[in-house]
Amino acid sequence: MTEGIAVAQLGDVPDGEAVKIAASVTGTVDDIALFNDGGDYFALDDTCSHEKASLSEGWLEDGVVECPLHAGKFCVRDGSVLSMPATVPVACHRVVIDGDVIRVVPDPDRLVP
């Protein structure tokens, strides 16, 4: 059995960009932002923990996403907070590359009950 949920193909997410994967696809309580940082893919909950802004619409550089609303920064590897005004990390989800398919394995704690 293949692990995770197929959410994109390699090449669908340009380097330095992100796409939003709907919660209805992943079964999670929040949409998921899928980031391509230099060919490495990472997935975080899409909603900034400071305010309701989409991290997939933020700016990605060197493993850091900056929220487009108030410029809080998060590490895309683990969702940790890197700058104010954010103080609470965002959930991180595992990414699996299966040939040309990008799969997300949602954090079990973030699944809709």
Does 95 map to a domain?
Answer: yes
Does 57 map to a domain?
Answer: yes
Is residue 41 within 8 A of residue 1, CB to CB? The reply is: no
Task: Find the mean pLDDT for residues 22-30.
Answer: 97
Q: What is the pLDDT of residue 70?
A: 93
CA distance 38 to 62: 8
Residue type, 51: E
Does 30 map to a domain?
Answer: yes
- For the chain, the domain total comes to 1
Other CB atoms within a 10 A radius of the CB of residue 77 amount to 14
Across 1-113, where does the E strand assignment appear? 5-9, 17-21, 32-37, 40-45, 59-61, 64-66, 73-75, 81-83, 92-98, 101-105
Note down the domain range covering 88.
5-107
Q: What is the pLDDT of residue 96?
A: 97
Does 113 map to a domain?
Answer: no
Does 77 map to a domain?
Answer: yes
**pLDDT-based confidence at 1, cuts 50/70/90?**
low
Q: Looking at residue 58, which CATH number applies to its domain? A: 2.102.10.10
